[in-house]
Amino acid sequence: MDTIITMPGHLITIEQAGIERCTAIIEWARRFRNRDAVPSQPPGTVALAFFEPSTRTRMSFEVAAAMLGARTVGFTTSGSSIEKGESFEDTIATIEALGAEAIVLRHSASDAAERAAAIATRAIIINAGDGMHQHPTQALLDAMTLLDTFGTLEKRRIAFIGDVLHSRVFRSGYTLFRMLGAEIGVCAPPLLRSGHLPLDMVELSDARAALKWADAVVVLRLQRERMQSGLVPSLADYRQRWAVRIADVEENSCYVLHPGPVNAGVELDAAVVDHARSLIRRQVTNGVFVRVAVLVEALGIPVVQPSSVVT
Ligand code: ASP
C-alpha cells in the first residue's frame, strides 16, 4: 500500500521542525538508502535557489531530485536578474510563479528562509543554509551519521571545534543533538564564541582537550566571508590551539565530522579527512538520502515498499 509521508510544510529551523519530524526524516532517509522504500510517482518541479556558493548541499539536492525523477531549475545570483536589481522577494515570487513546488534556498541573510516562507503561497521552502542562522539538512545528515555510528546519541558527547560564532552548522546541530539526548562540548577562540551560547555546554580548552572528552567532534571552518578582520590573529596562531591534529586523532578514540568545505592545514590536518575514524565522506553520502527524504516529504510523494512495485 502507498504511504504518503505527511507534508508538514516549510523546513526552516530544527526547533520549528521538532524532534518527531527530524527523527521521521532520518528514518525515511535510512529506508531510501537501504532501498526499503521507493517513491511511486514522479514529483513536480524543485527550484534550487542558491544566492550563496555551495558544492555539497547544492549537488546533493540535485542528485536527490534526480533520484526522485523531479525536474530541477537552477538559480545562482550571478547571471540572474538580481544583478539587474530584482529584489529577493520578487525573485522568490517569480520562482513560485514558474511552478516550483519546492524552493531549496541558500542565502547569506540570516532571515532569508523566514522571509521566503512569508512570501510563498504554495511552494514549500527548504532552508539550505541562511547566513549565521540555521542549516537544518546539515544537522539531519550529521545526526544520521552519528546515529549510524553510535546507535543512539543518548549521553554521547559531541564537541564543536572552531568558529561557532558564525556557524549555522553549530546552531542547528547543537539543537538537534541535544533533542536526541547528547551532551555538547564547545571549544573556540574567545572572539569566535557567540555571546549567547547555550549554558548547558561543556567548555573545552583546546582541540586536544575536545578530542579527549568527546565521542565525536564536529570541526568547523573559519567562516572568513562572515568575519570582521582581526578576530583571529593569524592562521598559525589559530592552528596552534584549535586545529585537529592527526596525532591527537590517533591517540584518542573520537570520531571526526566536518560539514565541508574543508580547509586542510587550517582547522584540521589533511590526513584527518581520510582517517578510519573520519565520518566526513559518510556525511556527504547520507546528505543525499536526507535530502531525498526532505523532498519526498515536502512534495508529498507517495512511497511504496519495493516488493509492491509492479513492473
Ligand atoms: N557548508 C557549511 C555551510 O554552508 C559549512 C561551511 O560553509 O563552512 O554552512
Assess whether 252 and 291 both reside in one domain. no
Assess whether 23 and 161 both reside in one domain. no
C-alpha of residue 220 to centroid of ligand 1, in Å: 8
Pick from 128-142, 192-206, 247-261: least confident: 192-206
pLDDT for 32-80, tens place per residue?
A: 999 998 888 888 899 999 999 899 999 999 999 999 999 999 877 666 6
> How many domains, in total, are found in the chain?
2
C-alpha of residue 18 to centroid of ligand 1, in Å: 22
Cell numbers that stand for 151 in this block: 546507535
Share of the chain above pLDDT 70, in %: 92
Assess whether 140 and 95 both reside in one domain. no
Assess whether 300 and 212 both reside in one domain. no
How much is the average pLDDT of 144-171? 97
Atom 2 in ligand 1: which residue has the minimum CA distance? 259
pLDDT for 4-15, tens place per residue?
A: 666 678 999 999
pLDDT for 233-280, tens place per residue?
A: 678 888 999 999 999 999 999 999 999 999 999 999 999 999 999 999
C-alpha of residue 51 to centroid of ligand 1, in Å: 14
pLDDT at 311: 45
Rounded to the nearest 10 degrees, the angle between the axes of helix 14-33 and helix 168-179 is 80
C-alpha of residue 92 to centroid of ligand 1, in Å: 22
C-alpha of residue 169 to centroid of ligand 1, in Å: 7
Assess whether 114 and 225 both reside in one domain. no
The one-letter amino acid code at 238 reads Y
Ligand 1, atom nearest to 220 Cα: 8
Model confidence at 230: pLDDT above 60 = yes
Range of the domain at 45: 3-131+287-308
> Is the separation of the CB atoms in 119 and 91 below 8 Å?
no
Ligand 1, atom nearest to 106 Cα: 4
Cβ < 6 A, ligand 1 pocket: 129, 135, 168-169, 221, 223, 259-260
Ligand 1, atom nearest to 167 Cα: 9
Share of the chain above pLDDT 90, in %: 76
Residue identified by cell 541535544 is: 178
Model confidence at 151: pLDDT above 70 = yes
* Segments of the chain assigned E as strands: 3-4, 38-39, 45-50, 71-76, 100-107, 124-130, 157-161, 183-187, 201-203, 216-219, 255-257, 302-304
Pick from 54, 130, 166, 221 the residue to mutate for probing ligand 1's pocket: most ligand atoms within 8 Å of its CB.
221
C-alpha of residue 67 to centroid of ligand 1, in Å: 24
CATH of the domain at 296: 3.40.50.1370
Assess whether 296 and 193 both reside in one domain. no
Assess whether 156 and 91 both reside in one domain. no
Assess whether 143 and 115 both reside in one domain. no
| CA atoms of 153 and 224, how far apart (whole Å) | 31
C-alpha of residue 260 to centroid of ligand 1, in Å: 6
